[in-house]
Structure 1
Amino acid sequence: MMTNSRWMALSGMFVALTLSACDGSGGPDPIVVPEGDRFELRLLGQDAELYEKALLGVGRIEVIAQGKSIPFQLAASARSMDLAQTDHAYLLGYFYLPAEAQSADVRVHFDDVGAFREAGAPGLINARSGSILFTTKRAELEKRKHVVIQLHLKDSLFQGRGAKVLLPSTFIVH
């Protein structure tokens, strides 16, 4: 009798969970693609010879064209990057530049804290003030459909109190 009541309780919970998961829409939500031309934004570590690891994440990216914020789709790879690997430009995500826009202002906001390892000694990176701001022109974007931010680690990480501080030194490549 005890086994039968357990099965009934489990069956009831399963039915309740199944019904709560169904919203009656009949399928997944449609994917909305913003209007405009799609461009990639990537980040590449440079001058990283001092570092065995340089782990940073990007939390938010803002793109403004013609005075208006335009949608940015943050890629999963932007959350966890080892910028000491200088042979790989990490995908930060995509933005859609409206047809009438000739340029866009891009601001990349890093997560507050990162980590590094140099000569076997680990440490933290204070990246709170480490945002990157630049303007890109449509004519440059259309050449390769992407823009790469080169972050020069040797010139961007400074020793602070208890942690290195990120003050980005960058070069923008189209």
Structure 2
Amino acid sequence: MKTNTKWMGLSSMLLALALGGCGGSDGVTPVSEPEGDRFELRLLGQDAELYEKVLLGVGRVEVTTKGVPVPFRYSPAARSMDLARTDHAYLLGAFYLPADAQDADIRVHFDDMGAFREPGGTGLINARSGSIGFKTPRSELEKRNHVVIQLHLKDSLFQTRGARVLLPSTYVVH
């Protein structure tokens, strides 16, 4: 009986892996793609030497052109990022810029709270006021089909009475 249980568990796991591998989806591209040119939005932690972990999630992304909202598809990776890992630019999602749009206004809002770990201990990050906003021209987006926000952690996290506060210091790279 134990052997059958093990085989059932193993076969279920293999079936799940096989089905999970089908389709080749990147987790962002919807089945029916919105109109417009697709560009990715990524976030990379920088200057994280003081931290072992910096856990933040993105709550909302707003992309507009000429004041009109642009479709944005979230990536699952945007909900849980370790920005102390400076070798990986997390995919926040993709936006679809209309062909006649010359630029995009982008605003990234973080979840209200995050967490950090440093050699001396752990704590919370108050990210309520930590939004990032910028305008990017289409000509820059078309070079690599993505834009990367570099969040400089050393200059963005400030100690207060109960937590660190996120006041983003960023650099945008195309």
The question of a shared fold, defined as TM-score above 0.5 by the shorter chain, is answered with yes
Matching residue of 1:17: none
Q: How does 1:15-34 map to 2 (within 5 A)?
A: 31-34=31-34
| Equivalent AA in structure 2 for residue 135 of structure 1 | K
Matching residue of 1:57: 57
Q: Matched residues in 1 for 2:84 and 2:33: separation?
A: 34
Deviations 1:36-95 (A, max 9, x none): 100000000000000000000001100001220011101000000000000000000000
Deviations 1:132-159 (A, max 9, x none): 0000000000000000000000000000
Matching residue of 2:40: 40
Alignment of 1:147 onto 2:162: no
**Partner SS state of residue 133, structure 2:** strand
Question: Cα offset for 1:160?
Answer: 1.1
**Partner SS state of residue 143, structure 2:** helix
Matching residue of 1:168: 168
Q: Matched residues in 2 for 1:110 and 1:130: separation?
A: 6
| Equivalent AA in structure 1 for residue 65 of structure 2 | A
Question: Cα offset for 1:120?
Answer: 4.2
| Gap regions ≥5 residues in structure 2 | 1-29
Q: Percent identity?
A: 77
Decide which structure has the larger Cα Rg and report it.
Answer: 1
| Gap regions ≥5 residues in structure 1 | 1-29
Matching residue of 2:134: 134
Alpha-carbon RMSD across the aligned residues, in angstroms, is: 1.0
Question: Cα offset for 1:32?
Answer: 2.9
Matching residue of 2:100: 100
Deviations 1:11-46 (A, max 9, x none): xxxxxxxxxxxxxxxxxxx93321110000000000
Question: Cα offset for 1:161?
Answer: 1.9
| Equivalent AA in structure 2 for residue 62 of structure 1 | E
Displacement over 6 Å in runs of 4+: none
Q: Between Structure 1 and Structure 2, how many residues are aligned?
A: 145
